[in-house]
Each structure stands twice: as structure tokens, then as C-alpha cells.
Amino acid sequence: MYLIRYFEERVIELCHTKELEGLVHVGIGQEGVATGIALSLKDCDYLYGTHRSHGHFLAGGTDPKLLMAELAGKDTGLCRGRGGSMHIVDIPNRLMTATGIVGGTISLALGTAIAKRDEGAVVAVYFGDGASNTGSFHECLNMASLWKLPVIMVCENNGYAEFTPMSAHTVVENISDHGKPYGIPATIINGNDVLAVLNAANDAVKRAREGDGPTLIECLTYRLRGHYVGDPEGYRGAQEVSEWREKDPIRVFSKFATSKKFIREEVMLEIRSSAQRAVDEATEFMRASPWPDGTRVADFVYGPSS
């Protein structure tokens, strides 16, 4: 969680100094979800992200250096600079793709589950509260249940679809209410409690691996920063943000872990400084990396045999 937090704080700084350009969405405040879900998955499993997926990928094992280089558009980036923040892919870690299309990866996760269920793999897919109003979300609930696919559908409900609060865009009280009509077990948890996320995810992964089909997990969370880097955030008040700051998943877990004494203070400090080092190294790597060759702009449109 510290790695994700420090990484994204650095991303914001680098956006301000124009070392990073483009449309960048950070998930500061949502690290508990990314971490809990990633910890429940095995190496044989697959994961699909959203447009706000730096945290999902870092928690899933992505090298911060390659991610930072990708965000900067460098040739050493995960996707050789062709993807950028919203379209990251890390196949060695089975992080299949983020997407700029809200709700766009849910159906892809179903397809991967069909392809890999015989190998015992589980596929997790993230989407937000806003995506619950796309038609494809409902089509996918139906198909995942119909075919009993080993899919973990993780709703990161951060209360806003871009700039619109959930009360103004959704008629159901909870996103998890959508599970029942489709025969999908659904649960609603505090997404800022990484251990609650891990527990719910473990249950869902177990069901999926035993052939009992999909689970919908609604994680209540909050993005402490704007929808995108540079968002003036006129749609919400400072009071609301500061209330959620008290519920910051990192603060909650650190307090819990040190007060219960299962992580010693000095270990926590070491975790923090090693995360900071990794972010520094990622920044240096990005800065030292070459740009892609402009004459190769049409590489990767088709495969090598074409």
C-alpha cells in the first residue's frame, strides 16, 4: 500500500512538472482494495483493470520502473510507450489490461475465464460504481452466472462516477444488490480495510476455484484526489474529503498493525523507506530511459507474420 501511495504521489508531482503528460487517474485512498485483491490471487490467476489501475498493477507485481517509464511514454515502458496510464498491460504478471473504456474489461475477464478455467485459474476484474450502469455489466452478470465462470467481480465503489455522486446516477442502494437477480453471491465490505477485502476475496477465490461460479464484491472506498490529475473537484466539499482522510486505508491498517503489535514500528519504517526507494529508483529509471523511435510509430499494429 505504501508503494502504491508513494508511487502515485510521485506521479502527481511529475505531472505538475510536466515530466509526465496525458490523462492520468490516480487511486490515492483506494490502495486497500488493490492490495487485498492481489493478495488473494495466485500466480496462475489473471487480472483485468480499469482506467485507474496503477495500484492494481503494482499490487499485482508490476515493476514500478517499467510502469513509471510507461506513464512517461518512454521506450522502456511496459508497453513501449504505446499504452500510457489508462492502457497498461503486464503479461508476465498476468495483468491482462487496463482500459480507457468504463466497464470495458468485464466481458474480457469472462472470456479469459472460459479459456483458462480448465487450468484452475481464477480471473479478477475491477470496475467502478459508474460502470454498474453500463449495459455490458448486466450482460456479463448474466453470462458469468449462466456459465458459472471463475470470475471475481470487484466493484470499487468510490462514490463518484467521474464527477457525479452515486445518488444521482444509480437507483439501487448498493451495487452489490445487482448480484441477487442474476443468482450471483454478492457482498459489500469496507474497501478501506485491507483485511476485510482480503477475507472477502479469499472466499470468492475459493468459490471460483471449486467451480461454484462468480462472486460480486462491492468495496466501499473513496478517492482522496480528483477524478484525474488536475481535476478542480468542484463537485465535492472539503469536509467530505477530510472525513474520508480519517478512514485512509493505510492509516487504518498501520494503526491496527502497530497497536496489535504484529508489525513492529521499525519494520513499518523499513517498509515505508523501501517503498520510497523503489519510487525514487522508478523515477530515475524513467528519466534515464530513451524515447521511442518516432519512425516506429506503426509497429505493433499487426503481428510479425503480417
Partner 1 sequence: MKDGQRFIDGLQRALRAEFEHDPLVMILGEDVAVGGPFGVTSGLVDEFGEGRVMNTPISEESIMGVAIGAAAAGRRPIIEIMFIDFLTLAMNQLVNHAAKLRYMSGGQLSIPMVIRVQQGAEGGWGSQHSQSLESWFLHVPGLKVYTASNSIDAESMMRAAIQDDDPVMFLEHRGLYFSNDNLILNKIEDPEKARIVRDGCDLTVVSYSRMTRECLNAAAQLAEEGIEAEIIDLRSLQPLDLDTIIESIKKTFRVMIVHEAVMVGGVGAEIAAQIQNLAFDWLDAPVTRVGAPFAPVPASPILEKAYIPNSALILEAARSLVGD
Can you give the binding site for partner 1, defined by CB under 8 A?
46, 48, 77-83, 87, 89-91, 96-97, 99-101, 104-116, 135-136, 139-140, 142-143, 146, 298-303, 305-306
Residue closer to partner 1 by CB (options 147, 256) is 147
CA–CA distance, 22 with 290 (Å, rounded to integer): 18
Question: Cell numbers 466501499 label which residue?
Answer: 220
| Residues taking part in catalysis | 223, 227, 235
Nearest to partner 1 of 232, 303 (CB atom): 303
Q: How many CB atoms lie within 10 A of CB 110?
A: 23
Cell numbers for 113, please give them: 475465464
C-beta closer to partner 1: residue 1 or 106: 106
Which of 225, 222, 250, 271 lies closest to 13 in space, CA to CA? 225
The residue behind cell 451495487 is 175
Q: Which three cell numbers mark 126?
A: 475491477
Q: Which is nearer to partner 1, 142 or 276 (CB)?
A: 142
- Would you say how long the chain is, in residues? 306
Least spacing, CB of residue 137 vs partner 1, in Å? 9
Give min distance, CB of 64 to partner 1, in A: 17
Closest Cα partner for 95 from 157, 27, 37, 32?
37
Q: Is 41 or 106 the residue whose CB approaches partner 1 more closely?
A: 106
Query: Which residue, 118 or 246, has its beta carbon nearer to partner 1?
Result: 118
Q: Is 298 exposed, middle or buried (0-12, 13-18, 19+ CB in 10 A)?
A: exposed
The minimum distance between CB 144 and partner 1, in angstroms, equals 10
In angstroms, what is the minimal distance from the CB of 142 to partner 1? Answer: 6
We find the least distance from the C-beta atom of residue 44 to partner 1, in angstroms, to be: 12
- Least Å distance, CB 127 to partner 1, is 12
CA neighbor of 149 nearest in space, from 178, 177, 115: 115
